[in-house]
A and B are shown apart, each in its own frame.
Chain A
């Protein structure tokens, strides 16, 4: 009996694709923690807001996808900036639990805000012209929109690396993430770095939410769908590590896809198996910093 490798290959492709969808949002989560030190429970809510605002812009711009996915993340980034300035900043001097409580409260506020502003009805959008075709691959069919997401995700990762490692702002961010007091002592405006890093993290969440609109029915619980996986990714990869987020997303995506394939019904366990192993063997994650 010969083993048909095509479905195995296809499931792997689906898993990688799944990873790229979450990775952009996870990068934002890990950036915010790495620099600002905030475990942002509301990250999924900003993802959801990105999707909802994209829907509104699609309606305003007569379905112009490109304009909508460019503008929407910046609007939500501005919302993130206000949240950081007026809600989070006063809490930096308090224990971390206060920030956790605040971001959790934001989840509830955004939930109801979305319900009040947009209602409870779902919406979706058409995949834009030029991206709405599929092609055959061994074991199945690949929508080109998924390939587009992979390309966008790769470009986002490269851009983020460039910004963090090749610009003076990136250097300041890295210095601040290593030692806040020292950064302040050498003249870096830490408050501004915190604010801008938080806003960039929110932009990534909102951008990820914008990209999902043509693929899903957008509902008020959209953020719930990625927040657990995003946290799993950053825990596996190491909180605050971009390399870790990339590797973590691939591990989580592939474990989930092959878990479904091999042991249906235990796919959720498969999602948490790498998480458990990492927490036991290497609690700081694959690329995380050592905690003192």
Chain B
């Protein structure tokens, strides 16, 4: 399959949506022009990325695999030639309890669905999948205990899941000793892919988009706004720091005239009253605001911002929140979600408009009575990526599967996913858009879609554009 065809497939969603091809192309061209003119020195990686085609594995043939609930177009070996161990065991863990327990359950939903589909269609080269899922309690020590227990006691062949980057780093640290690979379906931070995978060569894969999407694509939206003073309100831990740092770095390249205020940092605990934080930010008179919060914290914050007249001072069209399209936020705010806010997520159920995604969303809705959360979709896709890698490797041996996973390219409900071999980052595109209320959906959705290829807003090896705070 040539790259042009691939790119057309990836962009299919754009064409069928409220953004025209001309607009999409012109947006990308404009972004490219800005990069070309203004950021040659600093964004060498960008240029390399935008001009370098994605590489499809040459040893594979593309096959269409019909599974019980979804039709998955993947690039896989054509027929089983070896007998693998049976069952193939996947050990997962995530936050299953406490205030963020819904995120672990989202992930488990997606993982279960993928396993059931794969098993219903005959498994992987004839071997069934078995899933065992534990609660990591957002505790790095618990994460390590779980990883050891899943591997040593239960016999997991592969590890996956995890919401917190701290837990992800901790579990990644014991991978060499366990001789297993780990796919992170939610935990993200560049110290993992750039630090552990790229620099140290650890077998940890970022199966979810990174802070690059949250901050980098937000910067691409912000560059077209007539705003000269950007403020931020962000959670005071790795994710909040990383998104703000990457947003500043990326936007500065396009708009050197922009001034960045010191952010207002929100503690990483549950906050029921955001007013003191929001008013402290407004007192700095920002023209635009990047809000890096998530889950119930973001829902509460937006609810209270609306009541306190925040959006009278900073219009919703000048307010960007990277996790504003998370399903839990949409379901909690419902019709009270102010229209016009720029929002995104790590996998959006309306994108791409491929049959594969439509079937996935339909099946997920039918099974769980909710639209899929992004971590459901990443976990689902990660298991299909693992399947493709095992089929490519013709083995469940960790080293062979790791080697097969690097550079893998496949279609999932998120669109085309490419596993960047240098840092094991799953590369795929995700849209941003402005919140709107469409009677066709029981939750808020987005209009005025904006989307740039992942290659554009992701840093490239050898990295080093931003010194990520440890």
Contact A124 B299 (CB under 8 A): yes
Contact B308 A120 (CB under 8 A): no
Contact B328 A18 (CB under 8 A): no
Check: A138 CB closer than 8 A to any chain B CB. Answer: no
Q: How far is the CA of A268 from the CA of B237 in the complex (A)?
A: 14
Which of B99, B271, B308 has a CB less than 8 Å from the CB of A220?
Answer: B99
Residue-wise, chain A 211-228 has the 8 Å CB interface mask toward B (1 for contact) of 010011111111011101
Closest to A253 in B: B276
Check: A134 CB closer than 8 A to any chain B CB. Answer: yes
State how many angstroms separate the Cβ of B99 from the closest Cβ of chain A. 3
Q: How far is the CA of A201 from the CA of B279 in the complex (A)?
A: 32
Contact A122 B328 (CB under 8 A): yes
Residue-wise, chain A 24-65 has the 8 Å CB interface mask toward B (1 for contact) of 000000000000000000000000000000000000000000
B residues near A17, Cβ cutoff 8 Å: 273, 275
Contact B279 A264 (CB under 8 A): no
Which of B97, B265, B280 has a CB less than 8 Å from the CB of A11?
Answer: B280
A residues near B303, Cβ cutoff 8 Å: 124, 215-217
Q: How far is the CA of A122 from the CA of B336 in the complex (A)?
A: 15
Q: How far is the CA of A267 from the CA of B279 in the complex (A)?
A: 14
Which of A112, A134, A222 has a CB less than 8 Å from the CB of B97?
Answer: A112
Contact A123 B270 (CB under 8 A): no
Contact B331 A126 (CB under 8 A): no
Contact B283 A216 (CB under 8 A): no
B residues near A220, Cβ cutoff 8 Å: 97-99, 101
A residues near B280, Cβ cutoff 8 Å: 11, 257, 260-261, 264
A residues near B97, Cβ cutoff 8 Å: 111-112, 115, 120, 220
Contact A122 B332 (CB under 8 A): yes
Q: How far is the CA of A21 from the CA of B98 in the complex (A)?
A: 22
Q: Mostly helix, strand, loop or mixed at chain B's interface? A: helix
Check: A143 CB closer than 8 A to any chain B CB. Answer: yes
State how many angstroms separate the Cβ of A72 from the closest Cβ of chain B. 17
A residues near B312, Cβ cutoff 8 Å: 141
B residues near A228, Cβ cutoff 8 Å: 269
A residues near B264, Cβ cutoff 8 Å: 260, 264
Contact A14 B279 (CB under 8 A): yes
> Which B271-312 residues have a C-beta within 8 angstroms of A?
271-273, 275-277, 279-280, 282-283, 295-297, 299-300, 303-304, 307-309, 312
Q: How far is the CA of A25 from the CA of B336 in the complex (A)?
A: 28
User: Do A265 and B236 form a contact, CB below 8 Å, given A7-B283, A134-B309?
Assistant: yes
User: Do A221 and B98 form a contact, CB below 8 Å, given A121-B328, A126-B336, A143-B307?
Assistant: yes
Which of A141, A146, A217 has a CB less than 8 Å from the CB of B296?
Answer: A217
B residues near A219, Cβ cutoff 8 Å: 99-100, 102, 270, 295-296
A residues near B279, Cβ cutoff 8 Å: 7, 10-11, 14, 139-140, 257, 261
Size class of B's contact patch? 35 or more
B residues near A15, Cβ cutoff 8 Å: 276
Which of A11, A126, A218 has a CB less than 8 Å from the CB of B283?
Answer: A11
Check: B242 CB closer than 8 A to any chain A CB. Answer: no
Q: How far is the CA of A121 from the CA of B104 in the complex (A)?
A: 11
State how many angstroms separate the Cβ of B64 from the closest Cβ of chain A. 36
User: Do A225 and B276 form a contact, CB below 8 Å, given A121-B328, A216-B300?
Assistant: no
Contact A18 B273 (CB under 8 A): yes
Q: How far is the CA of A139 from the CA of B285 in the complex (A)?
A: 11
State how many angstroms separate the Cβ of A216 from the closest Cβ of chain B. 5
Check: A104 CB closer than 8 A to any chain B CB. Answer: no
Q: How far is the CA of A118 from the CA of B376 in the complex (A)?
A: 20
Contact B272 A222 (CB under 8 A): yes
Contact B275 A225 (CB under 8 A): no
A residues near B98, Cβ cutoff 8 Å: 111, 220-221
State how many angstroms separate the Cβ of B320 from the closest Cβ of chain A. 20
Q: How far is the CA of A141 from the CA of B310 in the complex (A)?
A: 8
B residues near A153, Cβ cutoff 8 Å: none
Contact A264 B269 (CB under 8 A): no
B residues near A14, Cβ cutoff 8 Å: 275-276, 279
Check: B168 CB closer than 8 A to any chain A CB. Answer: no
State how many angstroms separate the Cβ of B286 from the closest Cβ of chain A. 13
Contact B102 A122 (CB under 8 A): yes
State how many angstroms separate the Cβ of A45 from the closest Cβ of chain B. 12
Closest to A228 in B: B269
User: Do A21 and B270 form a contact, CB below 8 Å, given A121-B328, A220-B97, A264-B264?
Assistant: no
A residues near B282, Cβ cutoff 8 Å: 7, 140
Specify which of A115, A217, A222 lies most central, judged by the most chain B CB atoms within 10 Å of its CB.
A217
Q: How far is the CA of A17 from the CA of B276 in the complex (A)?
A: 9
A residues near B328, Cβ cutoff 8 Å: 121-122
State how many angstroms separate the Cβ of A254 from the closest Cβ of chain B. 10
Specify which of B269, B270, B272, B275 lies most central, judged by the most chain A CB atoms within 10 Å of its CB.
B272
Contact B309 A124 (CB under 8 A): no
7 nearest A-B residue pairs (beta carbon): A221-B99, A141-B309, A217-B296, A120-B102, A120-B101, A7-B283, A217-B299
Q: What would 15 A/B residue contacts be, using CB atoms closer than 8 Å?
A: A10-B283, A11-B276, A11-B283, A18-B273, A115-B97, A121-B331, A122-B332, A127-B307, A139-B279, A140-B308, A141-B308, A216-B304, A219-B99, A260-B264, A267-B267
On A, residues with C-beta under 8 Å from B are 7, 10-11, 14-15, 17-18, 21, 111-112, 115, 119-124, 126-127, 134, 136, 139-143, 145-146, 212, 215-222, 224-226, 228, 256-257, 260-261, 264-265, 267-268
18 further interface pairs, Cβ-Cβ under 8 Å (given A122-B328, A260-B277, A264-B264): A7-B283, A11-B276, A11-B280, A14-B275, A15-B276, A121-B102, A122-B102, A134-B307, A217-B296, A217-B299, A217-B303, A219-B102, A219-B295, A224-B99, A224-B270, A226-B272, A261-B276, A261-B283
